[in-house]
Structure 1
Amino acid sequence: MHTITPFLRLDPATRHVSLNARDPGFYTNPNETYAALHAHCPTFYWEEQRMWFLTGYTRVNALLRDRRFGRQILHVASREDLGLPQPLPHLENFDAAEAHSLLELEPPEHTRLRTLINRAFVSRQIEHMRPGIEDLANRLIDGFAQDGETELLSRFADIVPVTMIARMVGIPEEMGPQLLRWSHDYVGMYMFKRSRADEDAADRAAAEFSAYVRSVVAARRAAPRQDLISHMIHTEHRGQYLSDDELVSTIIVLLNAGHEATVHQIGNSVRIILDSGLDPARLLEDAEATERTVEETLRICAPVHIFDRWCLEDAEIDGIPFRRGDKVGMILAAANLDPTVFTDPLRFRPDRKEAANLSFGAGIHFCIGAPLARLELNVVLPLLFSRLPGLRLKETPRVKDVYHFHGLERLDLVW
């Protein structure tokens, strides 16, 4: 193997890679490592993760849509058939909460669940939330504008997405802080640094979160409101209604996915803009410029870096044979930096007119919350920079050790 950095070794001939995802040199600036992978082996076997990964834009984009691969495998084979271990007893509550998750299902169950909620998330419906986002963002900025400094994540970025998704779903806004705590523990299951303590915290969060959601579902069954929970309870699809277990899984995934990544992306986007040396007033001067800037920040610093798929039938990708039951990973954030698709890919260039970023995925599992996340970013970024003239970093922010997510520990700003 060739040593590229202290945390990256690779062998282009075998396409085997040793990469320590816990090294700050990697997770602080993963884009440099992705550039090295593109240069030497864009399809590679990650030894520490014990599976193959794709970074090339065309291959990632194709695999996201390839029906030979899916988010679940046990609908076509048993654990015994595939040699998979039995579920862990200490994750019983977490597994139950995930049993009907949109993120983990394939058709026809996925189609039924998604059809029931998709109408609420289409762009024309989401656009109705713009005034509420603007009002909330302005009120939060009012709270610190005269201070000349703030920590943006805790005083702004944490609050906007969780408040808006809670409003849409039908959860009281005052539950926001508790939702954040449950969500942070819950998503600990997906971090590469996951420990037994992380698993125990996730299972506790799943138990409490599920119990709370069941209580809200019971209340809405008795007294429906104009919210997404009531819609999901009382709307049928081809003669079928969602069960309570399906409602719990769906509501939890909406609340988690509806804010967790957007919190990271607000911080990432503000930092990228400030680090770029470009004039924020020009980058955000109108709706069109703002949209270009938002999409470029999503391309160059995506909040979620990896999604994986189960192989549902024997297949081959880039000369690598996969058998049913194998797993393959896609590094979406690396695909966004493919030099065969994006010119000067490590450079922040909001004026680029190239391929669409893959930060929200593609295919049937394209992020259902993408229109809401995009709207929130397009609203709050211009407000922050116009309301806080002279905005700049107080100090270099630290990146969280939460790979395969990508976000900041905190973002201290002055103006």
Structure 2
Amino acid sequence: MSNLPDFLRIDSETRRVFLDGRNPAFYSDPNRVYALLHEHCPTFYWEEQRQWFFTGYDHVNALLRDRRFGRQILHIASREELGLPAPQPHLENFDLAERYSLLELEPPEHTRLRTLVNRAFVSRHIERLRPEIAELAEKLIDGFEKDGGTELLSSFADIIPVTMIARMIGIPDEMGPQLLAWSHAYVGMYMFKRTAEDEDAADRAAKKFADYVKDLIAERRRSPREDLLTHMIHTEHKGQYLTDDELVSTTIVLLNAGHEATVHQIGNSVRVILDGGLPPSELFRDDAATERTVEETLRICAPVHIFQRWALEDAEIDDLTFKRGDKVSLILAAANLDPKKFSDPRTFKPDRQEAPNLSFGAGIHFCIGAPLARLELNTVLPILFRRLPGMRIAKTPVVKDVYHFHGLERLDLSW
């Protein structure tokens, strides 16, 4: 195929794709590759990952909701039965922290955990945080406005999501930098071709993170407060309370998911808006316009690109047969660019009246923090562009080598 870049090979007949996920030419502009996959091979076997991947909107949307596929498999089959390797001793702390993660469980455990946490994240509760988010954004901009420029991730994007989720849980603001450091090390486990050093760093971070949360749990048991951690400790569901291990896993996943993706998305959104050339005064002219703008940035530059699912039973999808225990991957960010659903999909068009983006997933694992992330984006982006109307990109941004996340190393701006 003559129109393919030299780092990509596609065999449409066998649906085989050769692509190095750590190649900067790919992760710097994955949308270009997704467009080629939609053109030649929307469902494909990624040779380097040894797994089937789906990029079509309808397939991804359906698989996210398909109860024949789940986030875990060991609740219905043993490692021996599935031919899976034994747990690795050097990841003992990470595995323990993940054991009761909302992201990894299936019903009935998932239902119980999610029910206990969900109340704090429904839109009517989250909406009360708008003035606090706005105040924090204004204060941060006060700190760098006079400088005529800033590196936006470290001065703004890193701070707001971690501060807000930490305050909700009941963790002091000054822990923000440490939480960021633990989280960055922790999510290294989800990168393609992670190294032994990445794994050791993730395990160390999981141990320190868990120890900190355990101390916090003990403190809240002694002196309850009006925060999410106290709520999780003292709320029951059908006569059951969360165990300490469940509390640790849930707190860690809420902290990681509650800021990691939103940090990326603030940077991605600002870059897309500035590159798009549309006047910010129009994009943010009222709440409805702001919401459309935010949803379009989520569509075109999602912060999390892939979710995996286990086949819980035999199933046939797109003329492929999957057996129980097979793993498949869904590229949410590619589904958001499906030309069958979106006209001119790689163009930033906030006035679209097309399909909803899949950036927060769908089904029972739809992102519990979506209302918070949306509120943060809908609050801070209009403030940023109103306060700094002459804002422009000062240096070409570099995309982080953290695929399947998508975010910038830094975003240097001037005005």
TM bin (shorter chain) = over 0.9
Which residue of structure 2 lines up, in the alignment, with residue 8 of structure 1?
8
Q: In the alignment, residue 368 of structure 2 is paired with which amino acid? A: I
Question: Is 1:104 aligned to 2:104, yes or no?
Answer: yes
Q: In the alignment, residue 105 of structure 1 is paired with which amino acid? A: L
Q: In the alignment, residue 140 of structure 2 is paired with which amino acid? A: L
Q: In the alignment, residue 245 of structure 1 is paired with which amino acid? A: D
Question: Is 1:48 aligned to 2:41, yes or no?
Answer: no
* Residue 389 of structure 1: how far off its partner (Å): 1.6
Structure 1 residue ranges without an equivalent (≥5): none
Q: In the alignment, residue 410 of structure 2 is paired with which amino acid? A: R
Which residue of structure 2 lines up, in the alignment, with residue 57 of structure 1?
57
User: In 1, distance between residues paired with 2:193 and 2:400?
Assistant: 11
Which residue of structure 1 lines up, in the alignment, with residue 95 of structure 2?
95
The answer as to whether partners of 1:193 and 1:403 remain within 8 angstroms in 2 is no
User: In 2, distance between residues paired with 1:321 and 1:66?
Assistant: 15
Q: Helix, strand or coil: the match of 2:285? A: coil
* Residue 193 of structure 1: how far off its partner (Å): 3.4
Question: Is 1:234 aligned to 2:247, yes or no?
Answer: no
List per-residue Cα deviations over 1:147-192 (Å, max 9, x = no partner).
1000000000000000000010111111000000000000000011
Q: In the alignment, residue 309 of structure 1 is paired with which amino acid? A: R
Which residue of structure 2 lines up, in the alignment, with residue 157 of structure 1?
157
User: In 2, distance between residues paired with 1:194 and 1:281?
Assistant: 42
User: In 1, distance between residues paired with 2:19 and 2:316?
Assistant: 24
Q: Taking every aligned residue pair, what percent have the same amino acid on both sides?
A: 75
Q: Helix, strand or coil: the match of 1:330? A: strand
* Residue 5 of structure 1: how far off its partner (Å): 1.2
Which residue of structure 2 lines up, in the alignment, with residue 264 of structure 1?
264
Q: Helix, strand or coil: the match of 1:92? A: helix
Q: Which runs of 4+ in 1 moved over 2 A?
A: none
User: In 1, distance between residues paired with 2:49 and 2:171?
Assistant: 37
Which residue of structure 1 lines up, in the alignment, with residue 382 of structure 2?
382
Q: Helix, strand or coil: the match of 1:316? A: strand
Q: In the alignment, residue 124 of structure 2 is paired with which amino acid? A: R
Which residue of structure 2 lines up, in the alignment, with residue 124 of structure 1?
124
Q: Helix, strand or coil: the match of 2:162? A: helix
* Residue 331 of structure 1: how far off its partner (Å): 0.2
Q: Helix, strand or coil: the match of 1:119? A: helix
User: In 2, distance between residues paired with 1:12 and 1:29?
Assistant: 22
Q: In the alignment, residue 17 of structure 1 is paired with which amino acid? A: V
* Residue 4 of structure 1: how far off its partner (Å): 1.7
User: In 2, distance between residues paired with 1:97 and 1:2?
Assistant: 47
Residues 69-88 of structure 1 aligned to structure 2 (within 5 Å) = 69-88=69-88
Q: Helix, strand or coil: the match of 2:18? A: strand
User: In 2, distance between residues paired with 1:5 and 1:15?
Assistant: 17
Question: Is 1:203 aligned to 2:211, yes or no?
Answer: no
Q: In the alignment, residue 292 of structure 1 is paired with which amino acid? A: R
List per-residue Cα deviations over 1:239-298 (Å, max 9, x = no partner).
000000000000000000000000000000000000001111111111111000000000
Question: Is 1:306 aligned to 2:294, yes or no?
Answer: no
* Residue 2 of structure 1: how far off its partner (Å): 7.4
Q: Helix, strand or coil: the match of 2:254? A: helix
User: In 2, distance between residues paired with 1:20 and 1:75?
Assistant: 33
User: In 1, distance between residues paired with 2:61 and 2:368?
Assistant: 17
The answer as to whether partners of 1:2 and 1:10 remain within 8 angstroms in 2 is no
RMSD: 0.8
> Structure 1 residues 2, 68: closer, same or farther in 2, change over 3 A?
farther
Q: How many equivalent pairs are there?
A: 415
User: In 1, distance between residues paired with 2:231 and 2:206?
Assistant: 23
The answer as to whether partners of 1:2 and 1:9 remain within 8 angstroms in 2 is no
Q: Helix, strand or coil: the match of 1:409? A: strand
List per-residue Cα deviations over 1:334-375 (Å, max 9, x = no partner).
000000000110100000000000000000000000000000
Structure 2 residue ranges without an equivalent (≥5): none
- Normalized against structure 2, the TM-score is what? 0.99
User: In 2, distance between residues paired with 1:164 and 1:193?
Assistant: 32
